[in-house]
């Protein structure tokens, strides 16, 4: 990374927030403009206004809520352990687009705005005096400047993706799952050089090398992102906080090997029945009705699906599993109830098998033929015949 980046100190007023950053996904979708307009004061103020510093975040995936970061910077100052990454653009000489660190820059800009306009605690003169030195330290910030000299727009785009990939996929920083997968998808499509997606193990490996992650992680992220987009297009309305659940479902091999879900091996697109099944289980529009709320439950769903076809289970257990799976999809029972029913069916099957074994053993050792037809022998003979008849009647309840 040293050849890509150089150290530089920049004025906070020269740092421009980036509405195109993958981390914000669709938070700024109505602000996204041609690159030349990003630099306008109107657009920059609109972007800054989307960051909230007033209330505690109710959703940990809400990357536009900067209250905790805002308060941390006010208390301890700007930490230089992880520097802001910026790049020049010809459209705005002297201005720098923030590639990495938009939340920190937004927090500092908001703090300075509140200080200058005496908003919040800054209305108190004693507090303003106490924080004046800290506020002054925000005038210039240490940054890392991305070298883009002599590069074409596509080469610059690629270099930005490499930087974001190394930082967010190489464990320096952590994006939430959806923007992380979106970034992987964009890098894959750039490598593919085609408008239509198709999976290539070689291209996935190339992306993994660029982003310092395994090919398996690239593939799983592609599968999840494509499925998520399909569900949204299909009207299922999943939210970004549901992405981990979608990813767990579409990367669970047992759900596909037992034909519960089906997808195209090249395009990774799910068929209509699979989309309907995911929606019926997750109910993204009304999560209270969902029978599959937690990604950790997907493994239990796979166990139920496996029981519908696994030949190591007796026919009556497989039949019970099929009935329970249908009831689960219709929302008539929950997953725990379905699995409890399967457990009981398996226990009953083992009991019947043991009963058959006892009957066969009894038939071999408790034969009435060896008894005399009179006296005590006659009584013992009748006892043996009674026991054999009782065992036969119990065994007749199989299935």
Place of tokens 């924080």: 131
CB 83 within 8 A of CB 144: yes
Task: Give CA–CA dist 35/112, Å, rounded.
Answer: 26
| pTM (two decimals) | 0.57
Other Cβ atoms within 10 Å of 267 Cβ, number: 12
The per-residue pLDDT for 173 is: 47
The per-residue pLDDT for 32 is: 58
The per-residue pLDDT for 24 is: 62
Q: Is 105 exposed, middle or buried (0-12, 13-18, 19+ CB in 10 A)?
A: buried
Other Cβ atoms within 10 Å of 61 Cβ, number: 17
The per-residue pLDDT for 171 is: 43
Helix (H) / strand (E) element for 200: namely none
Q: How many angstroms separate the most distant Cα atoms in the chain?
A: 118
Q: Please report, for the chain, how many H helices and E strands are present, in that order.
A: 15, 5
Kindly state the DSSP code that residue 99 receives in the 8-state scheme: E
Residue 18: CA atoms inside 13 Å, Cβ hemisphere, count?
Answer: 22
> Going residue by residue through the chain (399 aa), what tens digit of pLDDT does each one get?
446 789 999 999 999 998 877 666 556 656 655 555 777 888 888 889 888 876 665 555 567 888 888 999 998 888 776 679 999 877 888 999 998 889 999 999 999 999 999 999 999 999 999 999 999 999 999 999 988 888 887 777 777 766 666 555 544 445 678 988 998 998 899 889 888 999 999 999 988 877 778 899 999 999 999 999 999 999 999 998 999 999 999 999 999 999 999 999 999 999 999 999 999 999 999 988 899 999 999 999 999 999 999 888 888 899 999 999 999 999 899 999 999 999 998 888 776 666 666 666 655 655 555 555 555 566 666 666 676 676 666 555 544
The per-residue pLDDT for 11 is: 95
E-strand ranges in the chain read 5-11, 15-16, 84-88, 96-100, 140-146
Question: Which residues, including other chains, have CB under 8 Å from residue 381's CB and lie 6 or more apart?
Answer: 368, 371, 372, 373
Task: Give CA–CA dist 7/144, Å, rounded.
Answer: 5
Cα of 194 vs its chain's centroid, Å:
26
């Amino acid at each position: 990374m040293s050849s890509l980046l150089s150290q530089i100190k920049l004025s906070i007023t020269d740092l421009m927030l980036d509405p195109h950053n993958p981390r914000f996904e669709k938070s700024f979708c109505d602000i996204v403009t041609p690159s030349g307009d990003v630099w306008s004061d109107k657009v920059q103020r609109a972007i800054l206004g989307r960051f909230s510093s007033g209330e505690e975040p109710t959703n940990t995936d809400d990357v536009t809520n900067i209250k905790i970061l805002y308060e941390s910077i006010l208390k301890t100052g700007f930490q230089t352990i992880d520097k802001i990454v910026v790049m020049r653009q010809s459209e705005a000489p002297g201005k720098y687009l923030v590639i990495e660190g938009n939340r920190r820059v937004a927090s500092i800009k908001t703090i300075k705005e509140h200080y200058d306009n005496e908003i919040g605690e800054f209305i108190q003169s004693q507090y303003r005096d106490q924080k004046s030195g800290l506020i002054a330290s925000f005038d210039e910030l240490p940054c890392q400047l991305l070298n883009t000299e002599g590069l074409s727009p596509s080469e610059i785009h690629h270099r930005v993706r490499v930087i974001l990939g190394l930082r967010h996929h190489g464990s320096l920083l952590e994006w939430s799952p959806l923007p992380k997968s979106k970034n992987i998808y964009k890098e894959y499509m750039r490598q593919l050089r085609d408008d239509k997606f198709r999976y290539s193990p070689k291209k996935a490996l190339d992306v993994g090398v660029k982003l310092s992650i395994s090919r398996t992680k690239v593939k799983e992220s592609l599968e999840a992102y494509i499925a998520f987009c399909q569900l949204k297009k299909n009207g299922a309305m999943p939210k970004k906080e549901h992405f981990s659940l979608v990813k767990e479902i579409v990367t669970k091999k047992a759900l596909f090997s037992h034909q519960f879900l089906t997808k195209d091996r090249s395009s990774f697109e799910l068929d209509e029945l699979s989309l309907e099944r995911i929606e019926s289980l997750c109910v993204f529009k009304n999560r209270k009705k969902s029978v599959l709320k937690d990604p950790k439950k997907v493994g239990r769903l796979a166990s139920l699906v496996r029981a519908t076809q696994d030949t190591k289970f007796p026919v009556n257990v497989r039949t019970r599993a099929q009935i329970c799976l249908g009831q689960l999809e219709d929302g008539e029972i929950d997953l725990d109830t379905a699995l409890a029913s399967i457990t009981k069916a398996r226990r009953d099957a083992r009991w019947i098998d043991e009963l058959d074994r006892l009957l066969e053993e009894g038939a071999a050792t408790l034969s009435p033929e060896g008894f005399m037809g009179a006296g005590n022998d006659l009584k013992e003979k009748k006892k043996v015949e009674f026991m054999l008849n009782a065992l036969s009647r119990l065994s007749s309840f199989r299935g």
